Structure 1
């Protein structure tokens, strides 16, 4: 476990594979970029593109999150206790984002989801593990899977092959 008794700049816990990082104050942009495992806890606000390209693990933010948080998220969980700025979950492939405050706008293919018993259990467990008190009420956001239509062939190539 790494405990940071202040604030941090860009890319804290980038590519983290496992373990726990706790930031006692705010964190800059790209917080938890490409996070693969473990828990990243930020007790203040986070900057733009938090959890960009996240592939696993959990990012917990007790404050608010900047623009494009969860951009191109592939897996994992984000728990944002405060507000989320514009473009939440833009172009996400998978994963779940929970937001306790207001959402300025959702990104492309990020849609509201239904909170389940498993979601509540997961959040409560994380708050208990990290001694964060009682969690607020959350809204759940996930991938709408509309962008899942990749085709390796361009239209002109398809005519030649088919």
Structure 2
């Protein structure tokens, strides 16, 4: 179950939970300039507090069809330890992850929206991740970086063993 605490948009999830993000949607024909469009980013803590995605953030989704024929856009984030996708993101229990929105470039001046997601550790496990995620200390914050590295390493090993 997801809860918001003390006016701060914060959600606590478990591993293998899904979080659905629904984009603004307009059924009627409002004026084009009043339709909300956002770009959603996953950022580190510094990017979250400053609401600045250019500081260690990456684009996660784009809400760019506020009146599309198929209804509102929905994006789902699955909080999993491992992902089979090279561009997927892996989450660790006991860590917080940060999302911010940036208005679409044609709609500058709108407020920055923020969401903090805490991934709960399993009950009683005291799990602590062996490596930091979404930190300023290195490239480990990038989505699927370890997966991509493993794929590249296996391809190189296969290439050299074939020669």
Provide the TM-score with structure 2 as the length reference. 0.24
The higher relative CO (CA closer than 8 Å, separation ≥ 6) is in 2
Q: Whose radius of gyration is greater, 1 or 2?
A: 2
TM-score by length of 1: 0.24
